[in-house]
Amino acid sequence: MPSPNYSVPYSKLKLYDMFAHKPVNSQPAVPHPPSPQPPIQTTFSPESDFLNAPLLPTVSFNENLMAKLEQMLLELDRLIRQCPMPSCALLPPNHDICLLMRQIPLVISQSTNLLQTMQTFVEKVVYMLYKSQTPFALEAYTGFLQSLFELSVHVGKEALSWIVYADDERKYNAPVIAMLLRHEMLPLEIYDGQTAKLIQNKADGVIDFAADLVRLCLLSPSPVTFLEDHALTLAALNVLVKEEEATASVIALMTDLGNLVEAPYLDLKKTNDSGGGYIGSSGQGCLELRLLLAEWMRLCQHPMVTDQLCSQLATKSASFRRRALQLIDSYAKLVAYMVRLETGEDDKKAKVTLVSHALSVVTLVLAQHHEKRQVNFNQKPFLRILSSLFCELNKLKNKSIESSIILAYSDTLYMLQPLNFPGFAFSWLQLLSHRTFVPQLLVANHTQGWALCQKLVLVLLRFLRPLLETRVLQRATRAFYRGTLRFLVVLLHDFPEFLSDNYMVFSQCIPHGCIQLRNLVLSAFPRVMHLPDPFTPDLCLSSLPESRQEPLVVMSYSEILMNNGRLDESVDRYVCKKEGLAVFGKNILETLKTSEGYDLNLLTAFVLYLGSQTALEECSIAENPSVRAYKYLLSRMSPQGTYYLLNSLVDHLRYPNSHTYFFSTALLYLFEEQPEMIKEQITRVLLERLIVNRPHPWGLLATFIELIKKPTFWEYDFVRCSPDIERLFDNVSRSIKRTAV
Confidence of residue 311 (pLDDT cuts 50, 70, 90): low
Residue 411 CA to residue 430 CA, distance in Å, equals 16
Could you tell me the CATH number of the domain that includes residue 600? 1.25.40.800
Looking at the 3D structure of the chain, how many domains does it have?
A: 4
DSSP string, 456-477: HHHHHHHHHHHHHTSSS--HHH
Quick check: 329 pLDDT over 70?
yes
How wide is the angle at C-alpha 494 spanned by C-alphas 488 and 498, nearest 5°? Answer: 70
What count of other Cβ atoms lies within 10 Å of the Cβ of residue 243?
A: 10
- Quick one: 119 and 1 in the same domain? no
What's the average model confidence in pLDDT over 331-337? 83
β-pairing verdict for 597-598 and 593-594: antiparallel
Domain endpoint, select from 141, 168, 195: 168
- Residue 669 carries which side chain, given as an amino acid letter? Y
- Quick one: 354 and 485 in the same domain? yes
Residue 663 CB-half CA count within 13 A: 28
What's the average model confidence in pLDDT over 48-53? 36
pLDDT of residue 558: 76
689-719 pLDDT per residue, tens:
988 888 899 999 989 888 888 878 877 888 7
The answer as to whether 532 is a domain residue is no
- Quick one: 250 and 287 in the same domain? yes
For residues 673 and 383, the model is more confident at 383
Quick check: 463 pLDDT over 90?
yes
pLDDT of residue 344: 61
pLDDT of residue 484: 93
- Quick one: 580 and 719 in the same domain? yes
Specify whether the CB–CB gap between 359 and 408 falls below 8 A: yes
Residue 674 CA to residue 663 CA, distance in Å, equals 16
Residue 305 CA to residue 545 CA, distance in Å, equals 70
- Quick one: 23 and 34 in the same domain? no
Segment holding 198, helix H or strand E = helix 188-200
- Residue 653 carries which side chain, given as an amino acid letter? L
- Quick one: 478 and 545 in the same domain? no
DSSP string, 625-669: HHHHHHHHHHHHS-HHHHHHHHHHHHTT--SSSHHHHHHHHHHHH
Strand partners, 10: none
pLDDT of residue 663: 92
Residue 520 CA to residue 293 CA, distance in Å, equals 42
Residue 541 CA to residue 535 CA, distance in Å, equals 12
The pTM (predicted TM-score) of the whole model is 0.58
SS3 state of residue 29: coil
What totals of helices (H) and strands (E) does the chain contain, helices first? 34, 2
- Quick one: 579 and 680 in the same domain? yes
pLDDT of residue 518: 93
Specify whether the CB–CB gap between 403 and 445 falls below 8 A: yes
> Dihedral of CA 643/645/646/647: which sign?
positive
- Quick one: 456 and 327 in the same domain? yes
Of 471, 461, 436, 521, nearest in space to 697 by CA: 521
Please give the distance of CA 86 from its chain centroid, rounded to a whole number: 35
Residue 326: which residues within 8 A CB-CB, separation 6 or more?
none
Quick check: 83 pLDDT over 90?
no
Domain endpoint, select from 459, 479, 494: 494
Confidence of residue 459 (pLDDT cuts 50, 70, 90): very high
SS3 state of residue 129: helix
84-124 pLDDT per residue, tens:
888 888 888 888 888 888 888 888 888 888 888 888 888 88
pLDDT of residue 276: 40
296-305 pLDDT per residue, tens:
556 555 555 5
- Quick one: 264 and 353 in the same domain? no
Specify whether the CB–CB gap between 38 and 165 falls below 8 A: yes
pLDDT of residue 257: 83
Q: What are phi and psi of 670, to 5 degrees?
A: -65, -35
Specify whether the CB–CB gap between 560 and 601 falls below 8 A: yes
Specify whether the CB–CB gap between 699 and 713 falls below 8 A: no
The answer as to whether 226 is a domain residue is yes
Q: What is the mean pLDDT of the chain?
A: 79
Specify whether the CB–CB gap between 635 and 628 falls below 8 A: no
Q: Which long-range contacts (CB under 8 A, 24 or more apart) does 138-146 make?
A: 138/175, 138/176, 138/179, 139/87, 139/88, 139/179, 140/80, 140/83, 140/88, 140/97, 141/80, 142/176, 142/179, 142/180, 142/182, 142/183, 142/185, 143/88, 143/183, 144/76, 144/101, 145/185, 146/183, 146/185
Residue 329: which residues within 8 A CB-CB, separation 6 or more?
384, 388
The answer as to whether 672 is a domain residue is yes
Of 521, 534, 602, 535, nearest in space to 565 by CA: 602
Cis preceding linkage at 639, omega within 30: no
Could you tell me the CATH number of the domain that includes residue 399? 1.25.40.790
DSSP string, 226-286: -GGGGHHHHHHHHHHHHTT---HHHHHHHHHHHHHHHGGGHHHHHT-SSSSSSSS-SHHHH
Residue 584 CA to residue 591 CA, distance in Å, equals 11
Specify whether the CB–CB gap between 408 and 445 falls below 8 A: no
Q: What is the CA radius of gyration of the chain?
A: 35
- Quick one: 291 and 345 in the same domain? no
Domain endpoint, select from 140, 168, 196: 168
- The boundaries of the domain holding residue 574 are 541-740
- Quick one: 5 and 42 in the same domain? no
Quick check: 306 pLDDT over 80?
no
Q: What are phi and psi of 518, to 5 degrees?
A: -65, -45
Segment holding 200, helix H or strand E = helix 188-200
* Cα separations in angstroms, 325 against 329, 331, 390, 397: 6, 10, 16, 24
Quick check: 220 pLDDT over 50?
yes
Count of all residues that appear for the chain in the document: 741
- Quick one: 716 and 656 in the same domain? yes
